[in-house]
Amino acid sequence: MKKITLIFLLYPLLVFGQGTSEEYINSGNAKSELKDYSGAIEDYSKAIEIDPKDADAYYNRGRIKEKLKDYSGAIEDYSKAIEINPKDADAYYFRGSAKLNLGDFSGAIADYSKAIKINPKDAELYYFRGSAKEELKDYSGAIEDYSKAIEINPKDAGYYYFRGFVKEDLKDFDGACKDYKKACDLGDQEGCLNYKEVCQ
């Protein structure tokens, strides 16, 4: 079924050898779903040739480059998407993630902060900013962000687990045990293991 959909999307491109930016983006999306990443990049690049101001084409190409671990290339595309559309929280989020993978923790924090300013109710943004702060040994900042993530989404076991991990590093064993226990209660097996090892 996916192959039929791809052929349908590619029909005007195959027959006429041309298409709109949107058609190439749709074709790139279909190829991405089929894990034809080189083909997807080619289509997004063609969309950019047709319309250099199409932020979605840069953003989507950046996502593929990030999947291929071309983090520097992904950052370039996300940056271009942000230049065109500076209100796109997702572009900041994924650029921050690419920077995180390159070890640019300060740069990641800056991007997550910009995304949070645009979308302050997204718990994942606080979680990832917290993880970047943890890498920089800003433990109080990390705990603050993990706590905010929990406030927004109190059913995510991972947020409690990672906050507990930081508290354990700070020798706040009582606080760590409470977080590990909560993570365990919510179904996180690592939380259960840490609770048994540290708290019992």
The CATH code of the domain that includes 87 is: 1.25.40.10
Q: What is the pLDDT of residues 160-196, one digit of tens each?
A: 999 999 999 999 999 999 999 999 999 999 999 999 9
Based on the fold, state whether residues 114 and 167 are members of the same structural domain: no
Report the range of poorest mean pLDDT among 20-24, 77-81, 114-118, 124-128: 20-24
The answer on 106 and 26 residing in a single domain is: yes
End-to-end CA distance of the chain: 53
**Residues 88, 79: contact at Cβ < 8 Å?**
no
Q: What angle do CA 113, 117, 121 make, to 5 degrees?
A: 100
Please state the pTM of the whole predicted model: 0.87
Query: Which tokens hold the place of 154?
Result: 């109190």
Q: Do 88 and 37 have their domain in common? A: yes
pLDDT bucket at 19, cuts 50 / 70 / 90: confident
Rounded Cα distance between 18 and 51, Å, is 13
Task: Give the mean model confidence (pLDDT) for residues 117-142.
Answer: 98
Q: Percent of the chain having pLDDT more than 90?
A: 90
How far is residue 45's CA from residue 197's CA, in Å, rounded to a whole number? 52
